[in-house]
Structure formats: structure tokens, C-alpha cells
Amino acid sequence: MNESSHTRVSEDERERALGELSRHFSGGRLTAPEFEERSTAVWAADTRRELAQTFADLPAAPALVPGSEVGPIPGMVVRAGAVAIAATVCWLVLGNVLWLLLFGVIPALLLLAKRRR
């Protein structure tokens, strides 16, 4: 087994993985319950091997074309998108629109806290 598969994952790696899951969800490869289950697995993953298992049945991300202007998505954008998707899933599953309000406030508070630092 590869030594790097036992390497512990960082928060940035988890955020990138969540962004990739969001891409698969928006592409129709995952249902809302599958996205929620895999998102939980991403945040619970301790090693790169555990993180990779979340994507075992999904196609790999296309490589960026050299010279393209598209770069990595900033972490705060990924977090805000993940929170928005989680709010939508809670709203659809639980049937209460207040989830959208609650989860809409969390990213705003995170942005304010980050700006004050």
C-alpha cells in the first residue's frame, strides 16, 4: 500500500473534496441523500485513503488546460456553497423553509468574523 494513502488529510484537502462532491452533485451524478452522506464521510475522513474511497465510483476531475484562467476555488466559497447545499437538503428533507434562513446566516457570520481578524 502506498505510504501517502496513510497520510492525514488537512482541512484544505477536505474543502477541495467537498467542492468536487458539489461539482458531481450539480452535474447530476449524486442525489441529495448521497451528497449528504458523502459530505459527512469527507469531514470524517482522517487519511487520504478514506477520502479517496468517497470518490471511488465517480469520474476524476478533468485536468485544467494549461494557460486557462480557471484556478482553485477559494475555501470560503466552497464552505458557503456546502452550507447552502446542506440548507437546501434540510429544507427538502424536513420540509421547513427556516433551514434556509438559519444556514444563510452562518456563512454571513463566518465572513464577518474573518474580516474582523
DSSP 4-72: GGGSBPPHHHHHHHHHHHHHHHHTTSS-HHHHHHHHHHHHH--BHHHHHHTTTTSPPPPPPPTT-S--P
Q: What is the pLDDT of residue 70?
A: 47
pLDDT tens digits, 32-72: 899 899 989 998 889 989 888 888 888 876 543 344 444 55
- Given a cut of 70, whether residue 76 has pLDDT beyond it is no
Task: Name the percent of the chain lying above pLDDT 70.
Answer: 69
Grid coordinates of 114: 474573518
- Given a cut of 60, whether residue 82 has pLDDT beyond it is yes
Query: pLDDT band for position 26 (50/70/90)?
Result: confident
pTM of the model: 0.50
Q: What is the pLDDT of residue 86?
A: 77
